[in-house]
Amino acid sequence: MVANGEQQKQDLNVEEELLQDSDCCGNGCTNCILDHKPRPSKRVLLAGKRNVILSYTKFRLLRRETLESEAESKTGGQVLLLHFGHAPEEPGAGTEDDTVLDIPPGHHVMLRIGSLLRPYSPYWSDFQAKEFRILVKLQAGGPMSRLLAAVQPNDLLEFRGPIGQYAHDASTAKCIYILAQGVAIAPTLPLVRQVLENEEDMSRVWHLVCARDLRHVYFREELLEFAQYWNYRSCLYLPHQQCASAACQEAGHCVPECLHLRRSLRYKETAKVARLDACGLATHLNASIPGQRLLIVAGDSTFQKTMAQMATQSLALDPANVYLL
Ligand SMILES: Cc1cc2nc3c(=O)[nH]c(=O)nc-3n(C[C@H](O)[C@H](O)[C@H](O)COP(=O)(O)OP(=O)(O)OC[C@H]3O[C@@H](n4cnc5c(N)ncnc54)[C@H](O)[C@@H]3O)c2cc1C
C-alpha cells in the first residue's frame, strides 16, 4: 500500500511537472486542463491503484455505432457512439492489476491525435474493466471530426484526463437542476445516476433536456429508467417537433393538443414544443422543496452562458452553485 501511495505521489508530480501550455486544446473550455489538472481521485487512492488515464494512454476502439447518419441529421452532423477499452502497452506484463480507470461524473477527457487535441465527455465508464463510452457529433469541416469519421474497431487512440471540477456531496439533500443540449445529454447521465443509485442521497434531480425534436433525444431508454425513481423529474423541450397533421404543418410545429405527439410520448415522459426560456425554467422552481439549489449545464458555450444567466434568476440560484461542464 505504501509503495502504491508513493507511486501515486510520483505520478501526480510527473503530471504537474509535465503540464505545458500546449496541453490545452485552445477551444476555451470552461474547465481547461491547465486549471484542472488530472489528479488521482479519493476513490483511486482508496483502491490503492493507479488511474491509467492520468497521462496520455492508448485505448482500443471496441465498438462503433452510428446513432444518426449524415443523411438523417437535419444539422448535418453524423452522431457516433464510440466504446473504448484500455490497451496495455505490454500485454501480459503483470502490472495491469495495479490500475483502474476513474472518470468521475461531470469530468471530460482529452483526445490527442498527432498534435490535434479535443475534449470529450464520457457518459459511461467502468472502473475495473477500464472501458468508457463517448457520444460524438461530427462537425462539418472540423479536423477531429474528419479523423473520427474514419476510426474503426481495433484502432488505437490516446486519451488523458479526467479534467473537471464538479464533485457531488451526497451528505446533504439538494435540488439539482441539470440542463442538457443535444448530444451533451451524454455527460449528464452519470451525474443523474450517482444521485439516484445512492439510496442515502435525498437530493432531487430536475433533468431539462433540449433537443430539436423527439428523434434527436438521445438515451430515451435511460431517461425512462430514471423516471422510476421518486427523486427524478424530466422535461423535454422540442421546439422543432412537427408531425404530418394539417394543423401542425400549418403552425410550423406540433400544436399543444397534438395527438400524434402525445401518443409518441412514453409513460412519465413530458414534452413541450418550445425552447426552454426563463418562464419555462421558473415552472421547475418548486420553492416549497427545501435544500441547496444547484445548476449543472451541458451544451455548447452559448447554451451554457444563456442558461446559466436565465436560471440564476428563474430558479433563485446562487451563481456560486452553477457548474458548466
Ligand atoms: C468540455 C468539452 C466536452 C466536450 N465533449 C464532447 C462530446 O462528448 N461529444 C462531442 O461530440 N463533442 C464534445 N465536445 C466538442 C469537441 O471537443 C469538438 O469540438 C468537436 O468534436 C468538433 O471538433 P472538430 O475538431 O471536428 O471541429 P472544431 O474545429 O472544434 O469545430 C468545427 C466547428 O463546429 C463548431 N462546434 C464544435 N463543437 C460544437 C458543438 N458541440 N456544438 C455546436 N457547434 C460546435 C465549432 O464552433 C466550429 O465552428 C466537447 C467540448 C468541450 C469543451
Q: How far is the CA of 105 from the centre of ligand 1 (A)?
A: 19
Whether 275 and 318 map to the same domain: the answer is: yes
Q: For 77-131, how does the pLDDT look when each residue is reduced to its tens digit (9 = 90+)?
A: 799 999 999 998 776 554 557 899 999 999 999 999 999 999 999 999 999 999 9
Ligand 1 atom index nearest CA of 141: 32
Residue 2 pLDDT level (bands cut at 50, 70, 90)? very low
∠ CA 215-71-224 to the nearest 5 degrees? 20
Gyration radius of the chain over CA positions: 21
Whether 186 and 313 map to the same domain: the answer is: yes
Ligand 1 atom index nearest CA of 25: 17
300 CB within 6 A, ligand 1: yes
Whether residue 14 is contained in a domain is answered as no
* E strand intervals along the chain: 50-51, 57-68, 79-86, 99-100, 108-113, 116-120, 124-126, 131-137, 156-163, 174-181, 204-210, 232-237, 271-272, 292-298, 322-324
194 CB within 6 A, ligand 1: no
The partner residues of 299 in beta bridges, in order of sequence, read none
Residue 289 is classified by DSSP as S
CATH number of the domain at 196, please.
3.40.50.80
- Three cell numbers at 298? 451541458
- Please name the residue whose Cα sits nearest to atom 52 of ligand 1: 119
Whether residue 168 is contained in a domain is answered as no
Q: Indicate the residue among 163, 196, 217 that finishes a domain.
A: 163
- Please name the residue whose Cα sits nearest to atom 10 of ligand 1: 136
Is the confidence at residue 251, as pLDDT, over 50? yes
Whether 135 and 214 map to the same domain: the answer is: no
In this prediction, residues 175-196 reach a mean pLDDT of 96
Whether residue 263 is contained in a domain is answered as yes
pLDDT, residue 306, reads: 95
Whether 235 and 273 map to the same domain: the answer is: yes
Whether 37 and 95 map to the same domain: the answer is: yes
Whether 299 and 205 map to the same domain: the answer is: yes
pLDDT, residue 1, reads: 37
pLDDT, residue 196, reads: 98
Amino acid at 302: T
Whether residue 25 is contained in a domain is answered as yes
Contact 190, 167 (CB under 8 A): no
Domain count, the chain: 2
How would you class 299 by CB atoms within 10 Å of its CB: exposed for 0-12, middle for 13-18, buried for 19 or more?
buried
Q: Percent of the chain beyond pLDDT 90?
A: 74
Q: For 37-77, how does the pLDDT look when each residue is reduced to its tens digit (9 = 90+)?
A: 888 888 888 888 999 999 999 999 999 999 876 666 555 57
How would you class 279 by CB atoms within 10 Å of its CB: exposed for 0-12, middle for 13-18, buried for 19 or more?
exposed
pLDDT, residue 76, reads: 58
274: domain range? Answer: 174-324
Whether 313 and 186 map to the same domain: the answer is: yes
107 CB within 6 A, ligand 1: no
Whether 181 and 316 map to the same domain: the answer is: yes
Ligand 1 atom index nearest CA of 137: 11
Whether 159 and 195 map to the same domain: the answer is: no
Whether 284 and 194 map to the same domain: the answer is: yes
Whether residue 16 is contained in a domain is answered as no
Q: Dihedral of the CA atoms 310, 168, 229, 205 (nearest 10)?
A: -10
- Please name the residue whose Cα sits nearest to atom 51 of ligand 1: 119
